[in-house]
């Protein structure tokens, strides 16, 4: 069979999709190029569609069409890594979660440092440094951050006022005291946290100047701080400031408890503010507010909240890297970062949070910008990260429930996780 007659399933589907699009749009000249993109649906919708398409000028200038193939997060990562492992791929841009690029995975993607030097992104330093760090593997930048979910401390202003508290906490010590005061009143539980996410014990350790695993893969860089964090959580569980159901609490429970006023505090991404204050779902619309998670009054280390991020990558085996880089540059522009933010995307640029259009729509923008400037991932990616997290959470839960002392749990974390770290 000649190459002109050979038809792959992907080519057939792409062709039928293009024909369908043309028939809907009416008579039109087909673009000479197509950029195939692997992403989650939110990345496509945040850029707008139809008349609101933020990429329409770029498409005209480049005589190119965008062909989006979208999946949920885990299937997307599987497909992206599979495509990047082939001898070549039709997908020239992919969207990657920042907790996935191990050293081996990073080798499948184009180093972007040379592209930045040759054809730089507008005010690249405006992109939060912690996000850039999260996509830098073995000294190579492999992804340009584009979407964030930064953790905040949410509080129910009405619940605090009921017990005579007029302002949210400024230190973790004040947070513990306020949560205890709410709990003792019997009106609500002090704080609700899921037990199956590393985000929360990592945040408590960082509040005291510590961490789980730092960017240099140093495990428990400040063991005393981790022990203080676990002691604080254990004490909160013991006095009822964390619910008796802590061991089975999930992320969705946090939202429900806050909407119902069953808890005064929780930790969730800033983007959850609209949901928590939705008048159709919440008993306290307008009363659930957010600040950055506070550090200890005794810590000299700036508090670094946990942030999860998505970044745009170019497979090393991609067919059109020039067009892919042009797309990434355009999406990363200040103009389009604002467009995406107005469409519900968490901006990767710190300056976007100060844009008047966004602050008018998002009252937490200034607070989130301040938190994002210091934020970083819960831990760096590595091949055994999932197993390390599971062991970490197992020991955290034993400490919080009082089945181990915090010191015993920290010692166990050190001995069980250390063999899993990159050598």
Q: Tell me the pLDDT tens digit for each residue of 187-213.
A: 999 999 999 889 999 999 999 999 999
* Residues ≥6 apart with Cβ < 8 Å to 208: 172, 222, 224, 225, 226, 228, 229, 295, 296, 298, 299
Q: What is the DSSP letter of 376?
A: B
pLDDT band at 10 (very low <50, low <70, confident <90, very high): very low
Residue 7 clears pLDDT 60, i.e. is over it: no
Residue 221: phi and psi, rounded to 5, are: -60, -20
Residue 13 clears pLDDT 60, i.e. is over it: no
Strand partners, 67: 36
Return the closest-CA partner of residue 401 out of 201, 254, 208: 201
Spatial distance between the Cα atoms of 362 and 290, rounded to a whole number of angstroms: 12
Spatial distance between the Cα atoms of 380 and 187, rounded to a whole number of angstroms: 40
Q: Give the pLDDT confidence score for residue 29 in this predicted structure.
A: 53
Tell me the pTM.
0.80
Tokens of 65: 């069409």
pLDDT band at 386 (very low <50, low <70, confident <90, very high): confident
CATH architecture of 150-305+380-420: 3-Layer(aba) Sandwich (3.40)
Superfamily name with CATH number, domain 30-149+307-372: Periplasmic binding protein-like II (3.40.190.10)
Q: How many Cα atoms sit within 13 Å of 253 on the Cβ side?
A: 17
Q: Give the pLDDT confidence score for residue 74 in this predicted structure.
A: 83
Highest mean pLDDT among 25-29, 101-105, 390-394: 390-394
Q: Give the pLDDT confidence score for residue 383 in this predicted structure.
A: 87
Segments making up each domain of the chain, as ranges = 30-149+307-372, 150-305+380-420
Higher pLDDT, 56 or 274: 56
List, for residues 207-219, the tens digit of each pLDDT value: 999 999 998 999 9
Q: Give the pLDDT confidence score for residue 21 in this predicted structure.
A: 42
């Amino acid at each position: 069979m000649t190459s002109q007659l050979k038809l792959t399933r992907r080519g057939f589907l792409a062709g039928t999709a293009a024909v369908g699009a043309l028939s809907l749009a009416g008579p039109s000249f087909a673009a000479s190029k197509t950029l195939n993109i692997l992403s989650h649906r939110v990345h496509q919708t945040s850029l707008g569609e139809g008349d609101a398409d933020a990429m329409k000028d770029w498409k005209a200038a480049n005589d190119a069409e965008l062909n989006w193939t979208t999946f949920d997060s885990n299937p997307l990562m599987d497909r992206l890594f599979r495509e990047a492992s082939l001898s070549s791929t039709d997908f020239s841009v992919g969207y990657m979660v920042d907790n996935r690029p191990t050293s081996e995975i990073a080798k499948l993607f184009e180093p972007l440092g040379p592209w930045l030097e040759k054809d730089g992104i507008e005010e690249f330093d405006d992109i939060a440094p912690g996000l850039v760090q999260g996509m830098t593997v073995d000294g190579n930048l492999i992804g340009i951050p584009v979407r964030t979910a930064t953790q905040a401390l949410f509080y129910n202003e009405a619940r605090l006022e009921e017990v005579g508290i007029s302002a949210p906490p400024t230190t973790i010590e004040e947070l513990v005291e306020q949560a205890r005061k709410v709990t003792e009143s019997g009106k609500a539980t002090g704080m609700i946290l899921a037990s199956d996410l590393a985000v929360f014990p990592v945040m408590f350790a960082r509040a005291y100047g510590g961490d789980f695993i730092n960017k240099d893969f140093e495990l428990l860089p400040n063991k005393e701080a981790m022990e203080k964090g676990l002691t604080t959580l254990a004490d909160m569980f013991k006095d009822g400031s964390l619910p008796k159901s802590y061991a089975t609490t999930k992320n969705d429970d946090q939202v429900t408890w806050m909407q119902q006023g069953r808890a005064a505090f929780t930790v969730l991404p800033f983007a959850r503010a609209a949901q928590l204050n939705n008048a159709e779902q919440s008993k306290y619309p307008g009363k659930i507010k957010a600040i950055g998670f506070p550090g200890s009054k005794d810590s000299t280390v700036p508090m670094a909240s946990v942030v999860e991020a998505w970044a745009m990558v170019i497979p090393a085996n991609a067919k059109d890297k020039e067009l892919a880089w042009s797309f990434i540059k355009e999406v990363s522009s200040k103009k389009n970062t604002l467009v995406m933010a107005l469409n519900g995307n968490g901006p990767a640029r710190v300056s976007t949070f100060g844009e008047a259009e966004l602050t008018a729509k998002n009252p937490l923008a200034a607070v989130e910008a301040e938190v994002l400037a210091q934020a970083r991932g819960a831990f760096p990616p590595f091949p055994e990260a999932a197993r390390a997290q599971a062991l970490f959470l197992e020991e955290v839960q034993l400490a919080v429930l009082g089945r181990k002392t915090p010191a015993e749990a920290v010692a166990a974390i050190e001995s069980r996780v250390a063999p899993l770290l990159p050598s």
